[in-house]
Amino acid sequence: MAFGTNKLGVHALCWVGGWSEAEARRAIEGTARVGYDLIEIPTLDPDAIDVGMTRRLLEEYGLAGTLSLGLSPDMDISGADPEAAARGEAELMKVVAIARDVGASHITGILYSGFTKYNRPATQAGLEQSVAILRRVCEAALPSNITLGMEVVNRYETNILNTAAQGVAFCEMIGVPNAKVHLDCYHMNIEEADAEQAIVHAGDRLGYFHTGDSHRGYLGSGSINFTPIFRGLARIGYAGPITFESFSSEVVDANLSNILGIWRNLWTDSEDLVRHAKAFTEAQMISATATLRLSNHQPKGVLHHG
């Protein structure tokens, strides 16, 4: 195995904090000019997305699009409040319609619970309710070939999916083929015992991948060891999107930056940041592919005397 024809992407917040036409053009134009294949557009506020304008700009620059969000706590589909769960289901269905209309291939993020620091563990009833709602959302997205990526995140952002193994079990419970696991090495660095093994365990259930370093700044400038991560992706023949996420107080989306705790300025030059991330990612993919090739061609039948 090796990599497939992975689309390389960048999160819009590397460029802009909002989605006016001027902001969308700046983000989409820059992403295309640096040579990426897709842009991930945050849809924490789906009503702020001008569908016609977004579709037109994506087509003008030849970019694929994906949407990402986390449910607000008053839309928690894993909680005991049935009205909040109904609001969450309606919100997810609204984002499915936006994805269909802008031509987005994926909806990813914290789709299964509130995007918040919980002060209590998840309940079995809440988890089953989340699965039942997401089964309906996945079925609604299926005819438009939209994949839903259940993003596995750290314990400070959800109490439902913190490890790849939980993500795999959750998608199997949903039981619809477009329910996929979304892994992010920033979160894996906090929660997984063995990142390479976690990716191998996800296998063909992995449908989306986020790169990002430990401080969410320049790729490779933090403490994450990317070698086993890309080796794991190569071992499973991962062919889905690989999207770079980075956040700095230089670019602020009041909704997202505050929940993520983006208080520090880790970069100021968006273009330099994303240009470097693309080169870094491509180099890691080449290295991991070479490792696989070498490890698959060990001499066989050679006796070592000594």
Task: Give the binding site for Mn ion (CB under 5 A).
Answer: 184, 210, 245
Could you tell me the smallest distance in angstroms from the CB atom of residue 248 to Mn ion?
A: 15
Kindly tell me which of 182 and 205 has the beta carbon lying closer to Mn ion.
Answer: 182
From the candidates 40, 91, 151, 196, which is the catalytic residue? 151
Q: Which helix (H) or strand (E) holds 272?
A: helix 270-295
Kindly tell me which of 151 and 196 has the beta carbon lying closer to Mn ion.
Answer: 151
State how far the Cα of 95 lies from the Cα of 102, in Å rounded to an integer.
10
* Whether the Cβ atoms of residue 116 and residue 157 lie closer than 8 Å to each other: yes
State how far the Cα of 67 lies from the Cα of 88, in Å rounded to an integer.
16
Could you tell me the smallest distance in angstroms from the CB atom of residue 244 to Mn ion?
A: 10
State how far the Cα of 172 lies from the Cα of 150, in Å rounded to an integer.
12
Kindly tell me which of 18 and 42 has the beta carbon lying closer to Mn ion.
Answer: 42
Beta bridge partners of 39: 10, 65
Kindly tell me which of 57 and 161 has the beta carbon lying closer to Mn ion.
Answer: 161
Q: Which helix (H) or strand (E) holds 285?
A: helix 270-295
Could you tell me the smallest distance in angstroms from the CB atom of residue 153 to Mn ion?
A: 7
CA 235 from centroid of its chain's CA atoms:
20
The question of whether 83 is a catalytic residue gets the answer no
Q: At what angle do helices 82-102 and 51-61 cross, to 10 degrees?
A: 40
HEC string of 164-185 equals HHHHHHHHHHHCCCCEEEEEEH
State how far the Cα of 303 lies from the Cα of 207, in Å rounded to an integer.
42
Of 197, 212, 124, nearest to 165 by C-alpha is: 197
φ, ψ of residue 73 in degrees (nearest 5): -55, -30
φ, ψ of residue 197 in degrees (nearest 5): -65, -35
Kindly tell me which of 192 and 245 has the beta carbon lying closer to Mn ion.
Answer: 245
From the candidates 91, 157, 192, 245, which is the catalytic residue? 245
* Whether the Cβ atoms of residue 276 and residue 219 lie closer than 8 Å to each other: yes
Could you tell me the smallest distance in angstroms from the CB atom of residue 182 to Mn ion?
A: 7
Could you tell me the smallest distance in angstroms from the CB atom of residue 151 to Mn ion?
A: 6
Could you tell me the smallest distance in angstroms from the CB atom of residue 99 to Mn ion?
A: 17
Kindly tell me which of 85 and 209 has the beta carbon lying closer to Mn ion.
Answer: 209
Tokens of 152: 């596995």
The question of whether 21 is a catalytic residue gets the answer no
State how far the Cα of 225 lies from the Cα of 222, in Å rounded to an integer.
9
Task: Name the residues annotated as catalytic.
Answer: 151, 245
